Structure 1
Amino acid sequence: MMDTQKINDLNHGLCESGTLTDILLIDFKILISSLEVFDTSALQALSPLAQVGIVKRMQMAADIFVDKTSPATVQALADHRSDTVRGIAAFATARLTSTDDVPTLLSAIKPFADDTHFGVREWAWLAVRDKLMASLGDSLIALVP
């Protein structure tokens, strides 16, 4: 069982997760609140996050950032010490890169795909997979050397 200090640190974005179990234990409302980028009314949009699976939770959190903050805020999250916050930034970046141009999408997501943390690399793939599959021919051309 994980100690309460580790859970507290994960919830407040003070450390990276070590396992998928760590990621699943994070209370997104606490984590996102600790970033201090939203007012109280915007924080109410976080309540449904606890009721959905982890991939949907990441997508919904990213949507909240895109809808209620600026692209500069999303960009700042890309360097956060929390891998979960960087993962949310990957989803937000994919959403902000609303283009059918696959090379542009891949270029935007590359910093996340190159992240040192396994979780961020996985979030990067999950953030772009639907867009890549929607343009499968272009995706294959861009991805195959």
Structure 2
Amino acid sequence: MTEIKRKGARSTKDIPTDILVQLNRGEIETANLVEWLAVDQRLLLENLLVEHQRADYLKPILFKIDQLKKQTVNTINEAIGTGLFEQAIQNNDKEFLAIISKHSADLVRCWATYTIGRNEKLNITEMLKQIQSFSADKHFGVREINWLAVRAKIAQNLTKSIDILSAWTSNQNENIRRFTTEATRPRGVWCEHIEELKQTPELALSILEPLKSDTSKYVQDSVGNWLNDASKTQPEFVQKLCQCWEKGSGTKETKYIIKKALRTINKE
């Protein structure tokens, strides 16, 4: 039986009560950003832990949330994911890590990405290998959180990360290709900047070049945003690269990326 794709409500108040109940139980995925923001992550966590007989994990994770200086969807998401990883490690609970990694609820899979990103035993090669399947997730929320979960480790191991991610640019899955630029954006969104790429964006050319004519608009937007980030600190690099691309690749895809890349420069 084919699953019917829901459109989702346009505002929180319009989410049907039965849908919100199912979301908070982890029985269905969120259909859009409105639903994603409306989920009560504490309640979802409690329901998840009770269902899988791990209720004793709840109190220390809720304490971690309460200690947050700023409670947002993303900070709570990170606190829960980190807390679940800590509890699983303390209890040698690999089974539970596997459960949340394959869970039907997108927010639970979001938490699972932090069990990879916070695992200090993984080197950057192992971490990126494990996170790749999440970068291909069908749900937008998981795809956004998954690069956030490993970005700090990427920044700490930039040369090796770029070397690995460069190979991903030829992957058939557009979501995996998009991860390569989104995870390394110099300025990024909701995250710390990568100073090395702000000052020397040419370090990422092995990622950018293969994507300059990518057929996916999803990827094109990310490449354009990457270069727009770089233009705020190294405008000459971005201008010269765009000029080179314009001469060497006259495709509509490249032209679209260039327009997006130069939007800040062209405003000045």
TM interval, shorter chain, is 0.7 to 0.9
Does residue 25 in structure 1 map to residue 38 in structure 2?
Answer: yes
Identical pairs, percent: 26
Q: Which has the higher contact order (CA 8 A, sep 6+)?
A: 1
Structure 1 residues without counterparts, runs of 5 or longer: none
Does residue 38 in structure 1 map to residue 51 in structure 2?
Answer: no
1:14 aligned to 15, 27, 35, which one? 27
- Quote the offset at 1:46 in angstroms: 6.4
- Quote the offset at 1:60 in angstroms: 0.1
- Quote the offset at 1:43 in angstroms: 6.0
- Quote the offset at 1:134 in angstroms: 1.3
Contact 1:102 1:139 in 2 (8 A): yes
- Structure 1 stretches of 4+ with a deviation exceeding 3 A read 40-44
Does residue 113 in structure 1 map to residue 135 in structure 2?
Answer: yes
1:60 aligned to 66, 79, 82, which one? 79
Q: CA 1:106/1:43 → structure 2, altered by over 3 Å: closer, same or farther?
A: closer
CA RMSD, 1 decimal: 1.9
1:72 aligned to 87, 95, 99, which one? 95
TM-score by length of structure 1 reads: 0.88
The number of residue pairs the alignment matches comes to 143
Rg larger for: 2
Structure 2 residues without counterparts, runs of 5 or longer: 1-13, 168-268
- Quote the offset at 1:42 in angstroms: 4.0
Contact 1:33 1:43 in 2 (8 A): no
Q: Where does residue 141 of structure 1 map in the other structure?
A: 163
Q: CA 1:133/1:52 → structure 2, altered by over 3 Å: closer, same or farther?
A: same
How far apart in 1 are the matches of 2:61 and 2:74?
A: 20
Contact 1:15 1:82 in 2 (8 A): yes
